Amino acid sequence: ADLEALKKEAALRAVALIESGMRVGLGTGSTAKYAIEEIGRKVHSGELTGIVGVATSEASDALAREVGLTVQALDPRPLDIAIDGADEIAPNLDLIKGLGGALLREKLTEVQARRLIIIADHSKLVNQIGEKAPLPIEIARFGFLSTIERLRQIVPGGRLRQPGAQPYVTDNGNYIYDAQVRPGGDLAALERELKGTLGVVETGLFLGMAERAFVASPDGVQELTR
């Protein structure tokens, strides 16, 4: 099966956990897209009723509305479940997220979910965080060059995300610094150090947050739990 079919398979397994009446965190990215579309299909068919979605990006908000979902802003009420992709998945389900640029709203939303379910293809599996993907760090736009200099002391080898002539701007009007993380380090300590750095808004380290992950590979969908 091609990669997209695998991603969709993982998404369907996660969406099967949703029950009528749930408040659902809607992730961002090409895998989460399949989940949002499947939730829309189930609402349209009447298999699911009373679903309220909370989107983790403007893009997911628009897609959710497009497929007919009711979408509300994040408020302090807990979410029953959130479904999202990831860029790296470690054996203990620590994650790197943010390559799609949505890490701040994702973390703010998913920390309120009773269940965070990750969906991915097998290319996202790593033995240790830092092996494959850079670590996205959302930084304030104002004084970003100074913030980048501060970050270089902690995570050398990174760079401002700038796909074209201008830096990438997140839904929140911030920039992203994609850092290189040395595998095997103390991730909790790194998260604290990064969050304690002036100008840093949020990091793409999602530590101890995911409950399970549906990971699709050519020989089927694995279900990983912490």
Active-site amino acid positions? 106
Q: How far apart, in whole angstroms, are the C-alpha atoms of residue 215 and residue 119?
A: 6
Q: Any contact of residue 29 with ligand DER (CB under 6 A)?
A: yes
Measuring CA to CA, how many Å separate 220 from each of 4, 18, 93, 108?
Answer: 13, 21, 19, 32
98 is known to lie in a ligand binding site: yes
2 is known to lie in a ligand binding site: no
Q: How far apart, in whole angstroms, are the C-alpha atoms of residue 51 and residue 38?
A: 13
As measured in angstroms, the least distance from the Cβ of 29 to ligand DER is 3
* Tally of CB atoms within 10 A around 90: 21
Q: Any contact of residue 148 with ligand DER (CB under 6 A)?
A: no
Using DSSP's 3-state secondary structure scheme, residue 15 falls into helix
Q: Any contact of residue 103 with ligand DER (CB under 6 A)?
A: yes
Q: Any contact of residue 134 with ligand DER (CB under 6 A)?
A: no
85 is known to lie in a ligand binding site: yes
Q: Which listed residue (25, 98, 134, 158) binds ligand DER by CB under 6 A?
A: 98
Q: Any contact of residue 5 with ligand DER (CB under 6 A)?
A: no
170 is known to lie in a ligand binding site: no
Q: Which listed residue (9, 61, 87, 94) binds ligand DER by CB under 6 A?
A: 87
> Which residues are CB-contacts of 189 (< 8 A; sequence separation ≥ 6)?
none
Q: What are 18's strand-pairing partners?
A: none
195 is known to lie in a ligand binding site: no
Q: Any contact of residue 85 with ligand DER (CB under 6 A)?
A: yes
Q: How far apart, in whole angstroms, are the C-alpha atoms of residue 34 and residue 41?
A: 10
As measured in angstroms, the least distance from the Cβ of 146 to ligand DER is 25
Q: How far apart, in whole angstroms, are the C-alpha atoms of residue 63 and residue 48?
A: 18
Q: Any contact of residue 203 with ligand DER (CB under 6 A)?
A: no
Helices of type H across the chain: 3-15, 30-45, 58-66, 103-110, 144-154, 187-195
Give the binding site for ligand DER (CB under 6 A). Answer: 27-32, 84-87, 97-103, 106
Binding residues for substrate: 28-31, 84-87, 97-100, 124
